[in-house]
Amino acid sequence: MLKSWDTNLLSSEKKTLFSFFLLYLFFVLILLFILGYLYYNFQKDLVLQKYRIELNRLANEQVFRLKRLHRNFDKQRVYPRDKRFESAIYDSSFKKIFSTFKNSKIDFNRVIYIKNKKVYYIKELESYYLGTKYLVLQVDEDDSWVDRALKNMLLSGVVIFFIMMVFGYFLLWLMLKPMRDAIELLDRFIKDTTHELNTPINAIMSNIEMLERANLDEKVVKKIKRIDIAARTVSNLYQDLTYLTLGHKIVSYDEMVDLKKLLCERLEYFSLFSKSKKIKIKTELKEGVFLKIDIKKVTKLIDNLLSNAIKYNRVSGNIKVTLANNFIEIADSGMGIPQEKLKFITKRYTRANESVGGFGIGLNIVMMIANEYDLKVEITSKEGEWTKVKVFW
Amino acid sequence: MDKSKSVLVVTIFIFMMVKSFASSIYEKNCLSCHSKMPVKIDKFFYRYLLKYSSEMRVKEALVDYLKNPKKEKSVLQEELLARFGVKKPTTLNDKELKEAVDEYWEIYKVFDKLKGTPKNP
Protein backbone atom coordinates (compact mmCIF):
# COMPACT_ATOMS: atom_id res chain seq x y z
CA MET A 1 0.00 0.00 0.00
CA LEU A 2 1.38 3.31 -1.02
CA LYS A 3 -0.42 5.69 1.22
CA SER A 4 -2.20 5.42 4.47
CA TRP A 5 -5.86 5.02 3.69
CA ASP A 6 -7.16 8.07 5.49
CA THR A 7 -5.36 10.49 3.19
CA ASN A 8 -7.24 8.87 0.37
CA LEU A 9 -10.66 9.61 1.79
CA LEU A 10 -12.42 12.51 0.25
CA SER A 11 -13.62 15.20 2.57
CA SER A 12 -17.28 14.33 1.95
CA GLU A 13 -16.51 10.78 3.07
CA LYS A 14 -14.70 12.15 6.06
CA LYS A 15 -17.80 14.14 6.86
CA THR A 16 -19.92 11.00 6.70
CA LEU A 17 -17.49 9.23 8.97
CA PHE A 18 -17.53 12.14 11.32
CA SER A 19 -21.31 12.18 11.55
CA PHE A 20 -21.30 8.44 12.07
CA PHE A 21 -18.82 8.92 14.84
CA LEU A 22 -20.86 11.70 16.42
CA LEU A 23 -23.98 9.57 16.28
CA TYR A 24 -22.13 6.67 17.82
CA LEU A 25 -20.74 8.92 20.54
CA PHE A 26 -24.20 10.27 21.19
CA PHE A 27 -25.65 6.79 21.64
CA VAL A 28 -22.77 5.67 23.82
CA LEU A 29 -23.29 8.70 26.05
CA ILE A 30 -27.03 8.06 26.25
CA LEU A 31 -26.35 4.44 27.09
CA LEU A 32 -23.91 5.49 29.80
CA PHE A 33 -26.41 7.97 31.15
CA ILE A 34 -29.15 5.34 31.37
CA LEU A 35 -26.81 2.83 32.96
CA GLY A 36 -25.71 5.45 35.47
CA TYR A 37 -29.29 6.34 36.25
CA LEU A 38 -30.25 2.70 36.80
CA TYR A 39 -27.19 2.05 38.92
CA TYR A 40 -27.86 5.11 41.05
CA ASN A 41 -31.46 4.15 41.66
CA PHE A 42 -30.45 0.59 42.40
CA GLN A 43 -27.97 1.79 45.01
CA LYS A 44 -30.57 4.12 46.46
CA ASP A 45 -33.08 1.27 46.73
CA LEU A 46 -30.45 -0.86 48.40
CA VAL A 47 -29.75 1.85 50.95
CA LEU A 48 -33.45 2.45 51.56
CA GLN A 49 -33.94 -1.28 52.01
CA LYS A 50 -31.33 -1.25 54.74
CA TYR A 51 -32.93 1.75 56.39
CA ARG A 52 -36.28 0.09 56.12
CA ILE A 53 -35.28 -2.96 58.08
CA GLU A 54 -33.57 -0.89 60.75
CA LEU A 55 -36.36 1.68 61.01
CA ASN A 56 -39.04 -0.97 61.18
CA ARG A 57 -37.31 -2.44 64.19
CA LEU A 58 -37.17 0.96 65.88
CA ALA A 59 -40.79 1.66 64.95
CA ASN A 60 -41.89 -1.55 66.62
CA GLU A 61 -40.15 -0.46 69.80
CA GLN A 62 -41.92 2.88 69.63
CA VAL A 63 -45.28 1.21 69.04
CA PHE A 64 -44.71 -0.82 72.15
CA ARG A 65 -44.10 2.37 74.14
CA LEU A 66 -47.23 3.95 72.69
CA LYS A 67 -49.19 0.93 73.73
CA ARG A 68 -47.94 1.30 77.29
CA LEU A 69 -48.78 4.99 77.27
CA HIS A 70 -52.26 4.26 75.96
CA ARG A 71 -52.93 1.84 78.82
CA ASN A 72 -51.75 4.25 81.46
CA PHE A 73 -52.97 7.45 79.94
CA ASP A 74 -54.89 8.43 83.05
CA LYS A 75 -51.62 8.54 85.01
CA GLN A 76 -48.88 9.10 82.47
CA ARG A 77 -48.91 11.66 79.68
CA VAL A 78 -45.30 12.12 78.59
CA TYR A 79 -44.66 11.26 74.97
CA PRO A 80 -41.96 8.57 74.74
CA ARG A 81 -38.70 9.72 73.21
CA ASP A 82 -35.78 7.79 71.81
CA LYS A 83 -32.46 9.44 71.10
CA ARG A 84 -31.90 7.29 67.99
CA PHE A 85 -34.74 8.95 66.06
CA GLU A 86 -37.36 11.65 65.98
CA SER A 87 -40.97 10.59 65.68
CA ALA A 88 -44.49 11.82 65.12
CA ILE A 89 -47.95 10.30 65.39
CA TYR A 90 -50.92 11.01 63.13
CA ASP A 91 -54.54 9.86 63.29
CA SER A 92 -56.43 8.27 60.40
CA SER A 93 -57.42 11.68 59.05
CA PHE A 94 -53.68 12.57 58.89
CA LYS A 95 -54.12 15.02 61.75
CA LYS A 96 -51.00 15.40 63.82
CA ILE A 97 -51.39 14.13 67.38
CA PHE A 98 -47.84 14.76 68.50
CA SER A 99 -44.44 15.33 66.89
CA THR A 100 -40.89 15.72 68.13
CA PHE A 101 -39.61 17.26 64.92
CA LYS A 102 -40.41 20.27 62.84
CA ASN A 103 -41.58 19.07 59.50
CA SER A 104 -44.96 19.79 58.16
CA LYS A 105 -45.46 17.74 55.04
CA ILE A 106 -45.27 13.99 55.31
CA ASP A 107 -45.90 11.92 52.20
CA PHE A 108 -48.23 9.25 53.55
CA ASN A 109 -48.36 7.47 50.19
CA ARG A 110 -44.90 6.10 50.66
CA VAL A 111 -43.44 3.78 53.22
CA ILE A 112 -39.92 5.17 53.13
CA TYR A 113 -38.32 8.14 51.43
CA ILE A 114 -35.51 10.64 51.67
CA LYS A 115 -36.14 14.36 51.76
CA ASN A 116 -33.74 17.14 52.68
CA LYS A 117 -31.14 14.68 53.95
CA LYS A 118 -33.65 13.05 56.31
CA VAL A 119 -35.04 9.57 55.99
CA TYR A 120 -38.74 9.20 56.74
CA TYR A 121 -40.32 5.88 57.58
CA ILE A 122 -44.06 5.57 57.93
CA LYS A 123 -45.56 2.71 59.85
CA GLU A 124 -49.23 2.00 59.79
CA LEU A 125 -50.49 0.66 63.15
CA GLU A 126 -52.97 -2.14 63.52
CA SER A 127 -54.33 -0.92 66.85
CA TYR A 128 -54.62 2.82 67.06
CA TYR A 129 -52.95 3.53 70.39
CA LEU A 130 -53.95 7.05 71.43
CA GLY A 131 -55.70 7.22 68.08
CA THR A 132 -52.39 6.83 66.24
CA LYS A 133 -52.82 5.30 62.82
CA TYR A 134 -49.49 6.47 61.36
CA LEU A 135 -46.21 6.49 63.19
CA VAL A 136 -43.54 8.51 61.37
CA LEU A 137 -39.88 8.03 62.18
CA GLN A 138 -37.27 10.51 61.06
CA VAL A 139 -33.50 9.96 61.07
CA ASP A 140 -30.60 11.85 59.53
CA GLU A 141 -29.53 10.42 56.22
CA ASP A 142 -26.06 8.95 56.06
CA ASP A 143 -25.29 10.07 52.50
CA SER A 144 -21.78 8.69 52.23
CA TRP A 145 -23.19 6.13 49.82
CA VAL A 146 -23.87 8.88 47.27
CA ASP A 147 -20.18 9.74 47.07
CA ARG A 148 -19.29 6.09 46.80
CA ALA A 149 -21.90 5.45 44.12
CA LEU A 150 -20.84 8.51 42.12
CA LYS A 151 -17.20 7.48 42.31
CA ASN A 152 -18.05 3.97 41.12
CA MET A 153 -20.22 5.37 38.35
CA LEU A 154 -17.50 7.72 37.15
CA LEU A 155 -14.86 4.99 37.16
CA SER A 156 -16.93 2.35 35.40
CA GLY A 157 -18.34 5.04 33.11
CA VAL A 158 -14.86 5.95 31.92
CA VAL A 159 -13.90 2.29 31.48
CA ILE A 160 -17.07 1.50 29.53
CA PHE A 161 -16.62 4.65 27.48
CA PHE A 162 -13.13 3.59 26.45
CA ILE A 163 -14.23 0.08 25.64
CA MET A 164 -17.08 1.45 23.53
CA MET A 165 -14.69 3.82 21.76
CA VAL A 166 -12.31 0.98 20.92
CA PHE A 167 -15.28 -1.05 19.77
CA GLY A 168 -16.51 1.90 17.68
CA TYR A 169 -13.10 2.29 16.10
CA PHE A 170 -13.09 -1.39 15.25
CA LEU A 171 -16.59 -1.06 13.79
CA LEU A 172 -15.48 1.88 11.68
CA TRP A 173 -12.48 -0.05 10.51
CA LEU A 174 -14.69 -2.95 9.46
CA MET A 175 -17.08 -0.60 7.72
CA LEU A 176 -14.30 1.10 5.82
CA LYS A 177 -12.47 -2.02 4.81
CA PRO A 178 -14.28 -2.54 1.48
CA MET A 179 -13.85 1.10 0.60
CA ARG A 180 -10.22 1.01 1.59
CA ASP A 181 -9.62 -2.10 -0.46
CA ALA A 182 -11.22 -0.47 -3.48
CA ILE A 183 -9.10 2.65 -3.14
CA GLU A 184 -5.99 0.60 -2.64
CA LEU A 185 -6.77 -1.44 -5.73
CA LEU A 186 -7.35 1.70 -7.77
CA ASP A 187 -4.14 3.24 -6.53
CA ARG A 188 -2.14 0.17 -7.36
CA PHE A 189 -3.79 -0.08 -10.76
CA ILE A 190 -3.03 3.54 -11.59
CA LYS A 191 0.51 3.19 -10.39
CA ASP A 192 1.10 0.10 -12.47
CA THR A 193 -0.53 1.55 -15.56
CA THR A 194 1.23 4.84 -15.34
CA HIS A 195 4.51 3.07 -15.03
CA GLU A 196 3.77 1.11 -18.18
CA LEU A 197 2.72 4.32 -19.97
CA ASN A 198 5.89 6.18 -19.31
CA THR A 199 8.18 4.32 -21.67
CA PRO A 200 6.02 4.41 -24.83
CA ILE A 201 5.14 8.07 -24.41
CA ASN A 202 8.75 9.03 -24.03
CA ALA A 203 9.59 6.99 -27.11
CA ILE A 204 6.92 8.78 -29.16
CA MET A 205 7.92 12.25 -27.99
CA SER A 206 11.66 11.82 -28.45
CA ASN A 207 11.17 10.28 -31.89
CA ILE A 208 8.97 13.17 -33.04
CA GLU A 209 11.65 15.59 -31.90
CA MET A 210 14.27 13.72 -33.89
CA LEU A 211 12.32 13.93 -37.16
CA GLU A 212 13.86 16.15 -39.81
CA ARG A 213 10.80 18.27 -40.54
CA ALA A 214 12.42 20.42 -43.24
CA ASN A 215 12.42 17.58 -45.70
CA LEU A 216 8.85 16.71 -45.07
CA ASP A 217 5.71 17.49 -46.86
CA GLU A 218 3.51 20.26 -45.33
CA LYS A 219 0.63 17.83 -44.78
CA VAL A 220 2.79 15.29 -42.99
CA VAL A 221 4.22 17.99 -40.71
CA LYS A 222 0.70 18.95 -39.73
CA LYS A 223 -0.12 15.37 -38.85
CA ILE A 224 3.07 14.97 -36.88
CA LYS A 225 2.17 18.09 -34.92
CA ARG A 226 -1.13 16.55 -34.02
CA ILE A 227 0.62 13.40 -32.87
CA ASP A 228 2.94 15.57 -30.79
CA ILE A 229 0.01 17.35 -29.10
CA ALA A 230 -1.70 14.09 -28.36
CA ALA A 231 1.49 12.62 -26.91
CA ARG A 232 2.00 15.65 -24.71
CA THR A 233 -1.57 15.45 -23.44
CA VAL A 234 -1.07 11.85 -22.48
CA SER A 235 2.25 12.73 -20.90
CA ASN A 236 0.57 15.42 -18.80
CA LEU A 237 -2.07 13.04 -17.69
CA TYR A 238 0.59 10.52 -16.82
CA GLN A 239 2.37 13.07 -14.67
CA ASP A 240 -0.83 14.08 -12.95
CA LEU A 241 -1.62 10.51 -12.07
CA THR A 242 1.89 9.87 -10.78
CA TYR A 243 1.62 12.96 -8.67
CA LEU A 244 -1.69 11.88 -7.22
CA THR A 245 -0.58 8.38 -6.38
CA LEU A 246 2.91 9.26 -5.25
CA GLY A 247 2.47 12.93 -4.45
CA HIS A 248 2.97 12.83 -0.73
CA LYS A 249 5.89 10.48 -1.00
CA ILE A 250 7.84 12.63 -3.41
CA VAL A 251 10.57 14.45 -1.56
CA SER A 252 10.69 18.11 -2.47
CA TYR A 253 13.93 19.67 -3.67
CA ASP A 254 13.27 23.34 -3.17
CA GLU A 255 15.33 25.83 -5.17
CA MET A 256 15.03 29.44 -6.33
CA VAL A 257 12.96 29.21 -9.50
CA ASP A 258 12.90 32.01 -12.05
CA LEU A 259 9.19 32.15 -12.70
CA LYS A 260 9.35 34.17 -15.92
CA LYS A 261 11.74 31.69 -17.46
CA LEU A 262 9.59 28.80 -16.34
CA LEU A 263 6.33 30.37 -17.58
CA CYS A 264 7.87 31.04 -21.03
CA GLU A 265 9.10 27.48 -21.18
CA ARG A 266 5.70 26.05 -20.33
CA LEU A 267 3.89 28.39 -22.75
CA GLU A 268 6.26 27.16 -25.42
CA TYR A 269 5.48 23.57 -24.42
CA PHE A 270 1.74 24.21 -24.78
CA SER A 271 2.03 26.38 -27.89
CA LEU A 272 1.22 23.59 -30.28
CA PHE A 273 -1.85 22.81 -28.25
CA SER A 274 -3.05 26.40 -28.12
CA LYS A 275 -2.32 27.05 -31.75
CA SER A 276 -4.42 24.07 -32.72
CA LYS A 277 -7.36 25.83 -31.07
CA LYS A 278 -6.35 29.21 -32.55
CA ILE A 279 -6.01 30.71 -29.09
CA LYS A 280 -4.22 34.03 -28.75
CA ILE A 281 -1.92 34.23 -25.75
CA LYS A 282 -1.03 37.57 -24.19
CA THR A 283 1.64 37.75 -21.54
CA GLU A 284 2.67 40.35 -19.02
CA LEU A 285 5.62 38.83 -17.23
CA LYS A 286 7.78 40.70 -14.77
CA GLU A 287 11.51 40.05 -14.78
CA GLY A 288 13.33 38.62 -11.82
CA VAL A 289 10.47 37.10 -9.80
CA PHE A 290 11.79 34.13 -7.87
CA LEU A 291 10.08 31.58 -5.66
CA LYS A 292 11.74 28.95 -3.48
CA ILE A 293 9.94 25.84 -4.59
CA ASP A 294 10.41 22.39 -6.07
CA ILE A 295 10.71 22.94 -9.80
CA LYS A 296 8.82 19.76 -10.73
CA LYS A 297 5.91 20.76 -8.55
CA VAL A 298 5.62 24.35 -9.67
CA THR A 299 5.84 23.09 -13.25
CA LYS A 300 2.97 20.73 -12.51
CA LEU A 301 0.97 23.60 -11.04
CA ILE A 302 1.51 25.89 -14.01
CA ASP A 303 0.93 23.08 -16.52
CA ASN A 304 -2.40 22.29 -14.97
CA LEU A 305 -3.55 25.89 -14.99
CA LEU A 306 -2.41 26.40 -18.58
CA SER A 307 -3.89 23.18 -19.84
CA ASN A 308 -7.21 24.04 -18.17
CA ALA A 309 -7.13 27.50 -19.73
CA ILE A 310 -6.64 25.93 -23.13
CA LYS A 311 -8.90 22.94 -22.70
CA TYR A 312 -11.91 24.89 -21.45
CA ASN A 313 -11.41 27.81 -23.84
CA ARG A 314 -13.40 28.38 -26.95
CA VAL A 315 -11.84 28.24 -30.44
CA SER A 316 -10.01 31.57 -31.22
CA GLY A 317 -10.30 32.61 -27.60
CA ASN A 318 -7.77 34.51 -25.51
CA ILE A 319 -5.51 33.69 -22.64
CA LYS A 320 -3.73 36.27 -20.57
CA VAL A 321 -0.83 35.25 -18.37
CA THR A 322 0.36 37.78 -15.81
CA LEU A 323 3.34 37.48 -13.51
CA ALA A 324 3.87 40.10 -10.81
CA ASN A 325 5.96 40.31 -7.62
CA ASN A 326 3.54 38.24 -5.59
CA PHE A 327 1.23 36.48 -7.96
CA ILE A 328 0.66 34.60 -11.16
CA GLU A 329 -2.66 35.06 -12.87
CA ILE A 330 -4.00 33.06 -15.77
CA ALA A 331 -7.21 34.35 -17.31
CA ASP A 332 -9.09 32.71 -20.14
CA SER A 333 -12.11 33.54 -22.21
CA GLY A 334 -13.64 30.14 -21.79
CA MET A 335 -16.93 28.78 -20.68
CA GLY A 336 -16.44 29.76 -17.07
CA ILE A 337 -17.55 27.94 -13.98
CA PRO A 338 -21.09 28.12 -12.58
CA GLN A 339 -21.23 30.01 -9.31
CA GLU A 340 -22.55 27.07 -7.31
CA LYS A 341 -19.71 24.84 -8.49
CA LEU A 342 -16.90 27.25 -7.59
CA LYS A 343 -16.76 25.97 -4.02
CA PHE A 344 -16.28 22.35 -5.01
CA ILE A 345 -14.14 22.84 -8.08
CA THR A 346 -10.91 21.97 -6.31
CA LYS A 347 -12.20 18.58 -5.19
CA ARG A 348 -10.94 15.53 -6.92
CA TYR A 349 -13.10 14.14 -9.74
CA THR A 350 -15.15 17.33 -10.06
CA ARG A 351 -15.43 18.81 -13.48
CA ALA A 352 -16.90 22.18 -14.27
CA ASN A 353 -18.30 20.93 -17.50
CA GLU A 354 -19.04 17.35 -18.36
CA SER A 355 -18.77 17.97 -22.09
CA VAL A 356 -15.00 18.25 -21.98
CA GLY A 357 -12.99 15.16 -21.18
CA GLY A 358 -10.68 14.84 -18.21
CA PHE A 359 -10.62 13.28 -14.82
CA GLY A 360 -11.22 16.40 -12.81
CA ILE A 361 -7.96 15.96 -11.01
CA GLY A 362 -6.11 19.00 -12.33
CA LEU A 363 -7.23 21.64 -9.84
CA ASN A 364 -7.03 19.09 -7.08
CA ILE A 365 -3.33 18.75 -7.79
CA VAL A 366 -2.96 22.53 -7.97
CA MET A 367 -4.51 22.79 -4.51
CA MET A 368 -2.31 20.05 -3.11
CA ILE A 369 0.83 21.80 -4.28
CA ALA A 370 -0.44 25.22 -3.24
CA ASN A 371 -1.24 23.92 0.23
CA GLU A 372 2.19 22.39 0.57
CA TYR A 373 3.85 25.75 -0.15
CA ASP A 374 1.29 28.00 1.55
CA LEU A 375 0.22 29.55 -1.73
CA LYS A 376 -3.24 30.99 -1.97
CA VAL A 377 -5.42 30.16 -4.95
CA GLU A 378 -8.26 32.42 -5.89
CA ILE A 379 -10.66 31.35 -8.62
CA THR A 380 -13.14 33.85 -10.02
CA SER A 381 -15.40 33.26 -12.95
CA LYS A 382 -18.30 34.49 -14.94
CA GLU A 383 -20.22 31.68 -16.47
CA GLY A 384 -19.97 31.62 -20.26
CA GLU A 385 -17.42 34.46 -20.35
CA TRP A 386 -14.24 34.06 -18.41
CA THR A 387 -12.32 32.35 -15.64
CA LYS A 388 -9.40 33.82 -13.70
CA VAL A 389 -7.08 31.79 -11.53
CA LYS A 390 -4.75 33.77 -9.34
CA VAL A 391 -2.01 32.14 -7.34
CA PHE A 392 -0.40 34.45 -4.85
CA TRP A 393 2.07 34.23 -2.04
CA MET B 1 -88.83 26.68 111.56
CA ASP B 2 -87.09 29.94 111.99
CA LYS B 3 -86.56 32.41 109.26
CA SER B 4 -82.87 31.99 108.81
CA LYS B 5 -83.20 28.25 108.34
CA SER B 6 -85.81 28.60 105.64
CA VAL B 7 -83.60 31.15 103.87
CA LEU B 8 -80.77 28.62 103.86
CA VAL B 9 -83.02 25.90 102.48
CA VAL B 10 -84.25 28.23 99.75
CA THR B 11 -80.68 29.25 98.95
CA ILE B 12 -79.54 25.66 98.71
CA PHE B 13 -82.53 24.82 96.59
CA ILE B 14 -81.85 27.72 94.25
CA PHE B 15 -78.18 26.80 94.19
CA MET B 16 -78.99 23.23 93.22
CA MET B 17 -81.47 24.43 90.63
CA VAL B 18 -78.84 26.69 89.12
CA LYS B 19 -76.25 23.95 89.27
CA SER B 20 -78.44 21.39 87.60
CA PHE B 21 -79.40 23.95 85.05
CA ALA B 22 -75.79 24.86 84.40
CA SER B 23 -74.53 21.28 84.26
CA SER B 24 -74.36 19.84 80.77
CA ILE B 25 -76.34 17.11 79.12
CA TYR B 26 -73.23 14.92 79.28
CA GLU B 27 -72.95 15.32 83.03
CA LYS B 28 -76.67 14.96 83.59
CA ASN B 29 -77.29 12.05 81.28
CA CYS B 30 -74.14 10.02 80.75
CA LEU B 31 -72.22 10.64 83.95
CA SER B 32 -75.21 10.22 86.21
CA CYS B 33 -75.51 6.65 85.04
CA HIS B 34 -71.84 5.86 84.35
CA SER B 35 -70.45 7.18 87.63
CA LYS B 36 -72.19 4.32 89.33
CA MET B 37 -70.42 1.76 87.16
CA PRO B 38 -67.23 0.07 88.34
CA VAL B 39 -65.55 0.67 84.95
CA LYS B 40 -64.95 4.38 84.34
CA ILE B 41 -66.28 6.01 81.21
CA ASP B 42 -62.75 7.12 80.12
CA LYS B 43 -61.78 3.49 79.60
CA PHE B 44 -64.57 3.20 77.07
CA PHE B 45 -63.33 6.31 75.33
CA TYR B 46 -59.81 5.00 74.85
CA ARG B 47 -61.20 1.75 73.50
CA TYR B 48 -63.03 3.74 70.87
CA LEU B 49 -59.91 5.70 70.10
CA LEU B 50 -57.95 2.48 69.78
CA LYS B 51 -60.42 1.19 67.25
CA TYR B 52 -61.43 4.29 65.30
CA SER B 53 -58.46 6.69 65.49
CA SER B 54 -59.76 9.99 64.14
CA GLU B 55 -62.21 12.39 65.77
CA MET B 56 -64.78 12.03 63.04
CA ARG B 57 -64.83 8.26 63.04
CA VAL B 58 -64.82 7.97 66.84
CA LYS B 59 -67.80 10.30 67.12
CA GLU B 60 -69.65 8.52 64.32
CA ALA B 61 -69.15 5.16 66.02
CA LEU B 62 -70.21 6.53 69.41
CA VAL B 63 -73.39 8.08 68.12
CA ASP B 64 -74.16 4.94 66.21
CA TYR B 65 -73.69 2.73 69.26
CA LEU B 66 -75.54 4.94 71.69
CA LYS B 67 -78.54 5.25 69.44
CA ASN B 68 -78.63 1.60 68.63
CA PRO B 69 -76.52 -0.52 70.96
CA LYS B 70 -75.75 -4.01 69.68
CA LYS B 71 -73.62 -6.74 71.08
CA GLU B 72 -71.62 -7.05 67.87
CA LYS B 73 -70.80 -3.33 67.78
CA SER B 74 -69.60 -3.05 71.35
CA VAL B 75 -65.96 -2.48 72.12
CA LEU B 76 -66.20 -4.15 75.51
CA GLN B 77 -64.80 -7.54 76.28
CA GLU B 78 -67.36 -10.33 76.40
CA GLU B 79 -67.18 -10.79 80.19
CA LEU B 80 -67.79 -7.12 80.84
CA LEU B 81 -70.65 -6.98 78.44
CA ALA B 82 -72.14 -10.08 80.05
CA ARG B 83 -71.82 -8.43 83.43
CA PHE B 84 -73.42 -5.11 82.44
CA GLY B 85 -75.76 -6.30 79.74
CA VAL B 86 -76.09 -4.32 76.52
CA LYS B 87 -77.26 -0.82 77.39
CA LYS B 88 -80.60 0.68 76.34
CA PRO B 89 -80.76 3.05 73.37
CA THR B 90 -80.27 6.62 74.48
CA THR B 91 -83.25 8.76 75.32
CA LEU B 92 -81.60 11.89 74.04
CA ASN B 93 -82.54 13.40 70.74
CA ASP B 94 -79.95 13.79 67.97
CA LYS B 95 -78.92 17.31 68.89
CA GLU B 96 -78.51 16.56 72.57
CA LEU B 97 -76.64 13.36 71.81
CA LYS B 98 -74.25 15.22 69.55
CA GLU B 99 -73.63 17.79 72.25
CA ALA B 100 -72.98 15.05 74.82
CA VAL B 101 -70.62 13.14 72.53
CA ASP B 102 -68.78 16.37 71.64
CA GLU B 103 -68.18 17.08 75.28
CA TYR B 104 -67.17 13.50 75.90
CA TRP B 105 -64.57 13.90 73.12
CA GLU B 106 -63.33 17.25 74.42
CA ILE B 107 -62.77 15.83 77.88
CA TYR B 108 -60.78 12.76 76.91
CA LYS B 109 -59.20 13.52 73.55
CA VAL B 110 -55.41 13.09 73.34
CA PHE B 111 -54.71 16.28 71.37
CA ASP B 112 -52.78 18.87 73.39
CA LYS B 113 -52.63 16.55 76.36
CA LEU B 114 -49.34 14.87 75.57
CA LYS B 115 -46.23 16.40 77.03
CA GLY B 116 -42.89 16.35 75.33
CA THR B 117 -39.68 15.98 77.24
CA PRO B 118 -36.82 18.31 76.44
CA LYS B 119 -34.40 16.70 74.03
CA ASN B 120 -31.71 14.60 75.63
CA PRO B 121 -28.86 16.88 76.51
ipTM of the complex: 0.80
Provide the shortest C-alpha distance from residue B52 to chain A (in Å). 7
Residue A221 domain flag: no
Provide the shortest C-alpha distance from residue A55 to chain B (in Å). 20
Domain termination residue (choose one: A112, A142, A172)? A142
Provide the shortest C-alpha distance from residue B68 to chain A (in Å). 24
> Residues B5-23: what's their mean pLDDT?
67
> Residues A314-339: what's their mean pLDDT?
90
- For A120-177, what is each residue's pLDDT tens digit? 999 999 999 999 999 999 999 988 999 999 999 999 999 999 999 999 889 888 888 8
Say whether A73 and B115 touch across the interface (CB within 8 A): no
- For A283-321, what is each residue's pLDDT tens digit? 999 999 999 998 888 988 999 899 889 888 888 999 999
Whether residue A331 has pLDDT greater than 90: yes
Residue A200: per-residue pLDDT: 86
Query: In angstroms, what CA-CA distances link A241 with A59, A104, A262, A282, A307?
Result: 87, 83, 22, 30, 15
The beta-carbon neighbor of B54 closest among A70, A73, A92 is A92
Beta bridge partners of A124: A134
Whether residue A213 has pLDDT greater than 80: no
Look up the domain containing A279 and give its range: 252-392
The beta-carbon neighbor of A70 closest among B50, B55, B117 is B50
A-proximal residues of B, 102-121, CB under 8 Å: 110-111, 113-117, 119-120
Q: Which residue of chain A has the CA closest to B50?
A: A128
A-chain CB neighbours of B54 within 8 Å are: 91-93, 95, 131, 133
Q: How many domains does chain A have?
A: 2
φ and ψ at residue A325, rounded to 5 degrees? -55, -35
| Edge-first strand listing for the sheet containing A318-324 | A280-285, A318-324, A327-332, A386-392, A376-382
> Binning pLDDT at 50, 70 and 90, where does residue A10 land?
low
Cα–Cα distance measured from residue A135 to residue A200, given in angstroms and rounded to the nearest whole number: 102
Q: Comparing C-alpha atoms, which of A263, A257, A308 is closest to residue A285?
A: A263
Interface test with B, best of A84, A86, A94, A130 (most B CBs within 10 A): A130
Domain boundaries, chain B: 24-108
Residue A55 domain flag: yes
Beta bridge partners of A86: A138
Q: What is the pTM for the complete model shown?
A: 0.59
B-chain CB neighbours of A133 within 8 Å are: 53-54
* Residue partners of A271: CB distance under 8 A and separation at least 6: A281
Say whether B117 and A83 touch across the interface (CB within 8 A): no
Domain termination residue (choose one: A142, A161, A183)? A142
B22 touches chain A (CB under 8 A): no
Say whether B117 and A78 touch across the interface (CB within 8 A): yes
* Residue partners of A212: CB distance under 8 A and separation at least 6: none
Say whether B56 and A93 touch across the interface (CB within 8 A): yes
Beta bridge partners of A222: none
> Binning pLDDT at 50, 70 and 90, where does residue A246 land?
low
> Binning pLDDT at 50, 70 and 90, where does residue A5 land?
very low
A-proximal residues of B, 54-83, CB under 8 Å: 54-58
Residue A351: per-residue pLDDT: 52
Whether residue A356 has pLDDT greater than 80: no
Are B97 and B67 a contacting pair, CB within 8 Å? yes
- For A15-55, what is each residue's pLDDT tens digit? 778 888 899 999 999 999 999 999 999 999 999 999 999 99
Residue A220 domain flag: no
A207 or A16, greater pLDDT? A207
Residue A383: per-residue pLDDT: 84
The beta-carbon neighbor of B54 closest among A78, A95, A129 is A95
Terminal Cα-to-Cα distance of chain A (whole angstroms): 34
Residue A21: per-residue pLDDT: 86
Count the neighbouring beta carbons within 10 Å of the beta carbon of residue A273: 20
Residue A174 domain flag: no
Residue A175 domain flag: no
A-chain CB neighbours of B114 within 8 Å are: 77-79, 97-98, 130
Residue A71: per-residue pLDDT: 92
Provide the shortest C-alpha distance from residue B92 to chain A (in Å). 27
- For A65-99, what is each residue's pLDDT tens digit? 999 999 999 888 999 999 999 999 999 999 999 99
Domain termination residue (choose one: A142, A173, A204)? A142
Residue B121: per-residue pLDDT: 36
**Pairing label, strands A318-324, A280-285:** parallel
Question: What average pLDDT does chain A have?
Answer: 85
> Residues B78-105: what's their mean pLDDT?
92
Residue A378: per-residue pLDDT: 87
The CATH number linked to A376 is 3.30.565.10
> Residues B70-96: what's their mean pLDDT?
91
